[in-house]
């Protein structure tokens, strides 16, 4: 037994010396053109797959609205801008650069065939070391990661024509209107309307995205390279000093849970109208208009405030305190009421 142990130790020492020799003298060729030695690829891919499977969230954490067409559309637009250079999109070949990487990024159609939604979520959020796959820039924004996963799930059944309908055929980056709608009037529930916000508020938001004060993997991708002049121009183009058109509140509306919560609040939650106003127009950059705003966007933002994941703007502390006791049901009620105004 002693001889066996000594033999194992000796072999371990020899293996260590051999490895040190290979590393220390540069004998391992790191050229992407040459690829790995036989067996190394298997070790790396097996490690990758097992690591993802071990660390992925439970399937029960997959959002109920993963198949929502609006969520799929938002994920598709971001994927086209930030991810398609390496992974392409349905009906498109990968770039020559992507095909020259080692390890090579899989085409999106091939990639989605390997993983469950919760595993794709982990990969998109965390990235993969030494593969060129980055982690999500805003760790707080799981909602955005799930939107990308929503698109990836939909890719399984997408044709080239379906892809074009989602993101257009322009090979360049998507314009602001691609997500926010023509003239800023978004029809996507997860994307905010800009036409009910002031130019000053939009400009401040873009500045916060650019400097990282307001966290968003989607908007930081867009705003990071913007010059001040560009921010001012876009804010002036999409913003308004008029606000959303409102109808007179009916007696029946005043009896709804949304009206009561928005205008009267509870013992733990202040009335939203005390700052935003039940008939508010977009006349103050620190208290944006909520009437007519996108439902899914409002739900996301209220949860970010409540959970301490958003901390930007002139009244950040006030907004966090206002939202800290909101329940998921109350957030849904508020979002649906304001979106319907």
Looking at the structure, tell me whether residues 107 and 154 fall in a common domain. yes
pLDDT on residue 173: 65
Looking at the structure, tell me whether residues 321 and 295 fall in a common domain. yes
Q: Has residue 41 been placed in a domain?
A: no
Distance CA 118, CA 132 (A): 21
pLDDT on residue 284: 43
Question: Please, what is the angle between helix 295-306 and helix 328-339, to 10°?
Answer: 140
Looking at the structure, tell me whether residues 133 and 82 fall in a common domain. yes
Looking at the structure, tell me whether residues 78 and 106 fall in a common domain. yes
Answer for the pair 82, 143: CB distance below 8 angstroms, yes or no.
no
Looking at the structure, tell me whether residues 258 and 220 fall in a common domain. no
Region 173-185: mean pLDDT is 87
Region 189-217: mean pLDDT is 94
Q: Has residue 335 been placed in a domain?
A: yes
pLDDT on residue 247: 46
Answer for the pair 169, 243: CB distance below 8 angstroms, yes or no.
no
Looking at the structure, tell me whether residues 234 and 272 fall in a common domain. no
* CA nearest to 246, candidates 151, 113, 169, 341: 341
Looking at the structure, tell me whether residues 257 and 331 fall in a common domain. yes
Which residue's entry shows tokens 């009561």? 260
- Residue 108 is part of which domain span? 64-167
pLDDT on residue 106: 94
Distance CA 65, CA 67 (A): 5
In this model, does residue 136 exceed pLDDT 60?
yes
Looking at the structure, tell me whether residues 72 and 155 fall in a common domain. yes
* CA nearest to 194, candidates 206, 209, 211: 206
Looking at the structure, tell me whether residues 122 and 215 fall in a common domain. no
Region 78-90: mean pLDDT is 94
More confident site: 313 or 70: 70
More confident site: 5 or 264: 264
In this model, does residue 37 exceed pLDDT 90?
no
Q: Has residue 88 been placed in a domain?
A: yes
C-beta atoms surrounding 228 within 10 Å: 11
In this model, does residue 245 exceed pLDDT 60?
no
- When pLDDT is cut at 50, 70 and 90, the band that residue 20 belongs to is confident
Q: Has residue 138 been placed in a domain?
A: yes
Region 48-62: mean pLDDT is 96
pLDDT on residue 25: 81
Q: Has residue 69 been placed in a domain?
A: yes
Q: Has residue 156 been placed in a domain?
A: yes
Looking at the structure, tell me whether residues 198 and 160 fall in a common domain. no
Region 141-165: mean pLDDT is 95
Domain count, the chain: 3
Q: Has residue 174 been placed in a domain?
A: no
Q: Has residue 323 been placed in a domain?
A: yes
Looking at the structure, tell me whether residues 234 and 268 fall in a common domain. no
Looking at the structure, tell me whether residues 97 and 149 fall in a common domain. yes
Q: What is the mean pLDDT of the chain?
A: 89
Tokens of 84: 């398609």
**CATH code where residue 144 lies:** 1.10.760.10
Give the pTM.
Answer: 0.88
């Amino acid at each position: 037994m002693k001889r066996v142990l000594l033999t194992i130790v000796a072999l371990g020492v020899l293996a260590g010396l051999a490895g040190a020799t290979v590393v220390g003298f540069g004998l391992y060729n790191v050229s992407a053109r040459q690829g790995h030695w036989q067996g190394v690829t298997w070790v790396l891919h097996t490690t990758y797959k097992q690591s993802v499977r071990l660390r992925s969230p439970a399937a029960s954490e997959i959002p109920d609205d993963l198949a929502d067409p609006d969520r799929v559309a938002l994920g598709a637009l971001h994927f086209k801008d930030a991810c398609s250079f390496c992974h392409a999109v349905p009906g498109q070949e990968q770039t020559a650069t992507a095909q020259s990487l080692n390890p090579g990024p899989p085409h999106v159609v091939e990639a989605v065939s390997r993983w469950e939604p919760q595993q794709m979520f982990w990969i998109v959020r965390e990235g993969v070391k030494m593969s060129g796959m980055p982690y999500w820039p805003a760790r707080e924004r799981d909602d955005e990661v799930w939107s990308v996963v929503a698109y990836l799930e939909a890719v399984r059944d997408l044709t080239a024509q379906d892809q074009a309908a989602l993101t257009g055929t322009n090979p360049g980056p998507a314009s602001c209107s691609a997500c926010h709608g023509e003239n800023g009037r978004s029809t996507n529930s997860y994307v905010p309307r800009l036409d009910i916000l002031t130019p000053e508020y939009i400009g401040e938001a873009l500045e916060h995205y650019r400097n990282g004060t307001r966290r968003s993997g989607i908007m930081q991708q867009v705003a990071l390279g913007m010059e001040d002049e560009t921010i001012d121009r876009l804010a002036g183009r999409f913003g308004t000093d008029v606000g959303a058109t409102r109808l007179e509140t009916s007696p029946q509306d005043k009896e709804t849970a949304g009206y009561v919560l928005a205008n009267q609040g509870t013992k733990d939650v202040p009335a939203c109208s005390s700052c935003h106003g039940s008939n508010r127009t977009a006349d103050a950059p620190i208290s944006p208009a909520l009437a007519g705003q996108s439902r899914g966007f409002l739900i996301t933002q209220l949860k970010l405030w409540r959970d301490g994941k958003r901390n930007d703007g002139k009244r950040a502390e006030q907004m966090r305190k206002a939202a800290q006791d909101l329940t998921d049901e109350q957030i849904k009620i508020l979002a649906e009421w304001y979106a319907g105004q």
